[in-house]
């Protein structure tokens, strides 16, 4: 295979699908990971010039490591891992929900850390290998909403510099990619999302394509390892007391 390969977790839907399309357009062979959305993964792979699908349930112990080892054995030039699979569920800053917390930490922090470790231990690539951990602008602009989700993204953020320092070869890179509000989420309507996603410095909605193009740039570049790129039209530079879902409903402008 002459194309470099990339694994995109959660690559069949939402932001993950935008990553899949952007890498395909840039000439990569795309491995679309899915948990239960087999139909969507198959359909997307059929649209792309070079793609395959891979199933794994990251809530299961050992699933991330098994996926990485399988792909490492098969892919001769596996140059990038995009850890974008995530769950986004609401629980309270005054009443953590143990079930939501467990799901968030397993999917949003534990699985991408394990997958990155296994990738860096086993993957073959003709040039440097690149890990991109998709985090959130909430790292710099926290609020009390989506408590366990935000905790899990802070945990994922901690892996970036540690992996860069202790698990890489000289040509490898580990990055964070921190999007702002992009797609309608939780219980939002599209109309609410259109308004709430303008709550940033530029009053411009960040698109999935903006974030996907940034990922392609990082995966092919040679910036200093361990850094995080915010793609959010300046949202992380604000101090927002609540998630934009609720700021919009409360009439914030």
Spatial distance between the Cα atoms of 34 and 47, rounded to a whole number of angstroms: 16
pTM of the model: 0.96
- CATH 3.40.50.720, domain 5-249, yes or no: yes
Which of helix, strand or coil describes residue 61?
coil
Q: How confident is the model at residue 19 (pLDDT cuts 50, 70, 90)?
A: very high
Q: How confident is the model at residue 2 (pLDDT cuts 50, 70, 90)?
A: confident
Per-residue pLDDT, 177: 98
Per-residue pLDDT, 95: 95
- How much is the mean pLDDT over the chain? 96
* pLDDT 10s digits, 25-66: 999 999 999 999 999 999 999 999 999 999 999 989 999 999
For 135-174, letters b (16+ CB in 10 Å) and e give bbbbbbbebebbbbbbbbbbbbbebbeebbeebbeeebbb
Per-residue pLDDT, 34: 98
Q: Kindly state the average pLDDT of the residues 18-24.
A: 98
Which of helix, strand or coil describes residue 188?
coil
* pLDDT 10s digits, 153-188: 999 999 999 999 999 999 999 999 999 999 998 899
Domain ranges of the chain: 5-249
Q: Kindly state the average pLDDT of the residues 86-108.
A: 96
């Amino acid at each position: 295979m002459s194309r470099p390969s990339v694994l995109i977790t959660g690559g069949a839907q939402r932001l993950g699908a935008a990553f899949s399309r952007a890498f395909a357009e840039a000439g990569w062979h795309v491995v679309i990971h899915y948990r239960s959305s087999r139909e969507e993964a198959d359909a997307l792979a059929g649209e792309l010039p070079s793609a395959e699908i891979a199933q794994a349930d990251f809530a299961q112990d050992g699933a991330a490591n098994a996926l990485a080892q399988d792909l490492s054995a098969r892919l001769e030039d596996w140059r990038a891992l995009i850890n974008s699979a995530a769950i986004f569920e609401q629980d309270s800053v005054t009443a953590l929900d143990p079930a939501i917390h467990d799901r968030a930490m397993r999917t949003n922090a534990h699985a991408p850390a394990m997958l990155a470790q296994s990738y860096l231990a086993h993957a073959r690539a003709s040039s440097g290998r690149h890990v991109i951990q998709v985090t959130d602008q909430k790292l710099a602009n926290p609020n009390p909403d989506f408590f366990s989700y935000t905790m899990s993204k802070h945990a994922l953020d901690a892996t970036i510099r540690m992996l860069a320092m202790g698990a890489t070869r000289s040509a490898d890179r580990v990055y964070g990619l921190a999007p702002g509000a992009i797609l309608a989420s939780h219980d939002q309507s599209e109309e609410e999302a259109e308004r709430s996603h303008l709550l940033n410095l530029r009053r411009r909605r960040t698109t999935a394509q903006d974030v996907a193009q940034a990922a392609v740039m990082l995966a092919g570049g040679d910036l200093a390892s361990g850094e995080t790129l915010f793609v959010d039209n300046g949202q992380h530079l604000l101090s927002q007391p609540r998630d934009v879902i609720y700021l919009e409903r409360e009439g914030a402008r």
